[in-house]
């Protein structure tokens, strides 16, 4: 840190965005799918990180963001639940975060990464559910798993994905 060497963007290394612990924090504006925009461009407000919510609040907030076509932001909500929740639920939240990232990649046009993450998240959620034997926090895991596997197949077949229109129903059909 403190170097005055230029980065590929022409900014000095000392001007790079860092948090109080020195971790990289990119302040560039982002679009609804989390893609970086040019500095100064209007972007979508970021999802705050490190928010501790009750599980039901996490599910509701993630669903709202998914419905708005912001799976990248929903992933942040699931990641917060994964990192702050009880140990026995971490794999559930991690799987849901992977599903949201898979939807993000699919909507960005990355068919290979999108399908892979959708399947990985479905597998993690299914593995967690096999030991749980219940409907966690009202989440329709069988429905979400089926959604992810179906979307993965469509993405691999070349179907374009609109993130908001293809958002999963976390609590089942409304």
Q: pLDDT per residue over 32-72, tens digit each?
A: 898 999 999 998 888 888 899 999 999 999 999 999 999 99
Q: What is the pLDDT of residues 91-121, one digit of tens each?
A: 999 999 999 999 999 999 999 999 999 999 9
pLDDT at 1: 43
Q: What is the pLDDT of residues 135-174, one digit of tens each?
A: 789 999 999 999 999 999 999 999 999 999 999 999 987 5
Q: What is the pLDDT of residues 15-32, one digit of tens each?
A: 566 667 665 566 788 988
**How many other CB atoms sit within 10 Å of the CB of residue 83?**
14
CA–CA gap between residue 56 and residue 54 (Å, rounded):
6
In contact, 73 and 131? CB cutoff 8 Å:
no
In angstroms, the Cα distances linking 150 to 5, 79, 104, 140 are 48, 23, 16, 15
């Amino acid at each position: 840190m403190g170097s005055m060497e230029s980065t590929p963007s022409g900014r000095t290394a000392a001007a790079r965005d860092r948090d109080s612990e020195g971790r990289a924090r990119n302040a560039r504006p982002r679009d609804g799918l989390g893609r970086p925009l040019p500095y100064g461009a209007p972007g979508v407000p970021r999802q705050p990180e490190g928010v501790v919510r009750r599980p039901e609040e996490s599910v509701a907030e993630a669903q709202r963001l998914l419905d708005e076509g912001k799976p990248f932001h929903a992933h942040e909500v699931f990641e917060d639940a994964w990192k702050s929740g009880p140990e026995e639920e971490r794999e559930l939240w991690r799987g849901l975060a992977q599903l949201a990232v898979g939807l993000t990649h699919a909507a960005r046009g990355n068919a290979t990464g999108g399908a892979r993450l959708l399947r990985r998240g479905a597998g993690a959620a299914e593995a967690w559910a096999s030991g749980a034997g219940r409907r966690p926090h009202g989440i329709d895991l069988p429905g979400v798993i089926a959604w992810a596997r179906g979307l993965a197949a469509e993405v691999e077949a070349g179907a374009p994905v609109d993130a908001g229109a293809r958002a999963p129903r976390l609590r089942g059909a409304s």
